[in-house]
Structure 1
Amino acid sequence: MEKQLCDLLVRLILLTWGFGAGVAGLDRYSSLGETVTLPCARFQKYQNSFIYWIFNQRSESSALASDGKITVKQPERAARLEVLPDSSLRIHHLHTEDAGQYECQQYVNGQLYEGGTPFVLTLLTITADPGKDLKRGTTLALQCTLLCNGGIADCSSAPDNVKLTWVDDEGTALQGDRFKITPYRTHSTLSLELQKSDHDRRWRCNLTEEGAVKASYSYTTTLTDTPVLIATASATTIALLIVLILVVAFCFWKRRRSDSDNHIQVEELTKESVSEIPAQVTGGAGENYSSIQFNNEGRGPERRQAPAEESNGVIYSAIK
C-alpha cells in the first residue's frame, strides 16, 4: 500500500513540474523524421502481467499501447508506433506531436506493479524564412529549434548544458563574416545571403549535451535560378553527344559501304572462267600444243567492253 502511494505521489510531482525536467537520465533527444526507441527499463516477466505505455503532453495523458498492442485512435500516428518484444516503444518518422513524456507501467493481475522511468523526448527541427523561391542574393534566415512537450514555448525547462551549433558536412562550426549566428538556449538563428555555390547545400544544426552530439538536423537550400543554368549546360552536352554519335555512325556506314564495294568487285572477278581445251597438234611429231581459253562474259558493266573479236581468245603453248 505504501509503495503504490509513493508511485502516485511521484507521478503527480512529475506532471506538476514539467514531466521530470532536470532529473538525471530522463531526457532523450532526436530529430523530426528520425526513429527513436524508448526502453521499458523495469520490465519483468510475470504471469497475468502486461505493459501499459502512457504519453503526457501539455498536462494531458493518453494511452499509447496496452499488452503489446497499439491503442492510439489516430490511424496515422498508430502506424508509426511499435511495441518490441522486450516491451520497448519504438516511434518511427517522428512528428512535432511526438514531443513529450513517455512512461511504461507494468500491471500484474490488474494492479499496478511497477512504474518505469519516464522519458522526456525533445525534438530538433529547422524552419526557413523564406521557405521557397530561393535565389542568389536572397537573405535567408534558418532557425534551429527545440520542440519540447509539443511546442517551442514549452522548452523553458530544457537543461542548461544543452547547446545548439551550426556546422558544415564535416562537423566543423560555421565561421566567417558571411554567417550571422544568433544563439539562444532553446533555438539558434543562422542568417546569410545566398550565393550560387549554395545550391543543393546542406545546413546542419547539432544539439550537444556537455559537448556530445545528441541530435542533428539539416536543411537543404535549392535555388530556383541555378537549375536553369544546369539544364542549359545539360542540353548542350546532350546535343554535342548526339552530333558525335551521328558522325561516328556515318563513318562506320561509309566504311561498310567501301568494304561492300570491294567485296562485289572480288566476286565479279571470280566469275571469270578459265578453261582448258584439248590441244590441237599442228607441229611436228615431237611437239604437243595445249590451249587455255579465257571467257570475259562475267565481268561487271564498269569494265571496258572489248571488241567482239577479243572477247574470247585462245592462247597456244607448245609442250615439248
Structure 2
Amino acid sequence: MADKCDLCLLGLIILSSLLTGISGVKDHVFISSGENVRLSCNNALSDCKSTTWNYNRFRHSAGVALIAGGIKNKDTERHERLSLESDCSLNIKNVTEEDYGFYKCRQYVNGQKQGPDADVFLHVLHVSVSLTSSSSSSSSSQTEISPGRSVTLSCQLYSYTVYSCDDRVSSGRFELLWVNQAGVDLKTDSRYQILSSSDQYHCIITLTTTLLNEDNNREWRCQLTHRNQLETSVRYTVKYSDPQIQEKLKSV
C-alpha cells in the first residue's frame, strides 16, 4: 500500500511539472497609476536578444510587440516609457490606466520558440476627481477646491480578465475600499456616500462628500486587496486652492 501511495504521489508531481511546463509562469502585478513597475521575464535565456515582449489589452484582440529580439518597437506610443533590464524584465515608467493588460515574455532562437512563456497580468488602480459647487454664485471658480464644494473621487481598477468585476468581488478575489488616514472604512461614516459599480474590465468605487473647513490637508485612500492581501493603494489629499482660504484656516 505504501508503495502504491508513493507511486501516486510521484505521478502527481510529474503531472504538476508537466502542466507548469505547458502553461508557463503566470504572475499578477498590481500597481497604482503614476508609479513605475517591473514585469519579470522568468523564462529568459542568457542573452536578451532572444526576448520578445507582447502585449494585449483585451482578449481576442491583436497583440502588439513591445520588444522584439531585445529591441524596443519605436512604433508604439509608449516606447519612451519602456526599457529592458539585463535580466530581460520589462520596465514601464509612469504607469497609466492605459497600460493595464496581458504581457507575454517569449524566447526565440533562430526563429524557433524556446520553452514556456512567462505571462504577466498587469492591474492598474487609478483615481480621478470631479468637483461641483453647493452654491450657485460660485460658478466663476469651478476649478477651485474649497469648502462647500462637493467632491467625487472615482477609484477604478483596470484589469485584463474573463471574469466580471462582480464575479471577482463576490468570490473574494478583489475588494476596493475608501479608507481614511487611520485605515478606517469610510462606509462607516454617514458623511460619505460610497457607491460601487462595474463592467467587465473595470471595478469602480466612488466617494462623494461636501468639503468642510477642516478637510484641508485631509487624506483619503482607495485601497485594493486581492485574496485579503493589500496589493496597492492611491492617496488623495485635499488642498484648498484659494490662498485667502489657506490664511483664514491658519488663523482658526
> What is the DSSP-based 3-state SS (H/G/I as helix, E as strand, rest coil) of the residue aligned with 1:228?
helix
| Overall identity of the aligned pairs, in % | 28
Change (3 A) 1:171 1:84: same
Displacement of 1:232 after TM fit?
Answer: 6.7
Displacement of 1:164 after TM fit?
Answer: 0.3
User: 2:177 — aligned with what?
Assistant: 165
Displacement of 1:107 after TM fit?
Answer: 0.5
**1:142 aligned to which of 153, 174, 178:** 153
Superposition TM-score, scaled by structure 1 size: 0.58
Displacement of 1:201 after TM fit?
Answer: 2.5
Higher-Rg structure is 1
Q: Is 1:101–1:120's contact at 8 Å kept on the other side of the alignment? A: yes
Change (3 A) 1:56 1:115: farther
Give the letter aligned to residue 129 of structure 1: S
User: 1:56 — aligned with what?
Assistant: 56
Displacement of 1:90 after TM fit?
Answer: 1.0
Give the letter aligned to residue 54 of structure 1: N
User: Matched residue pairs, number?
Assistant: 209
Deviations 1:210-263 (A, max 9, x none): 2211111122323234x31434788x9xxxxxxxxxxxxxxxxxxxxxxxxxxx
**2:225 aligned to which of 200, 204, 208:** 208
Instruction: Spell out the pairing of 1:167-206 with structure 2 (5 A cutoff).
Output: 167-174=179-186, 175-184=188-197, 186-206=203-223
Q: Structure 1: how far apart are the matches of 2:144 and 2:162?
A: 32
Displacement of 1:209 after TM fit?
Answer: 0.9
User: 2:74 — aligned with what?
Assistant: 72
Q: Structure 2: how far apart are the matches of 1:80 and 1:49?
A: 20
Change (3 A) 1:109 1:97: same
Change (3 A) 1:211 1:203: same
Instruction: Spell out the pairing of 1:1-320 with structure 2 (5 A cutoff).
Output: 25-45=26-46, 50-58=50-58, 59-74=61-76, 77-130=78-131, 132-149=143-160, 156=164, 159-160=168-169, 161-174=173-186, 175-184=188-197, 186-225=203-242, 227-231=243-247
Deviations 1:152-201 (A, max 9, x none): x9973673410001112233322322122123461111111100121232
Structure with greater contact order relative to length (CA < 8 Å, sep ≥ 6): 2
Give the letter aligned to residue 208 of structure 2: S
Displacement of 1:74 after TM fit?
Answer: 4.0
User: Aligned-pair RMSD on alpha carbons?
Assistant: 3.0
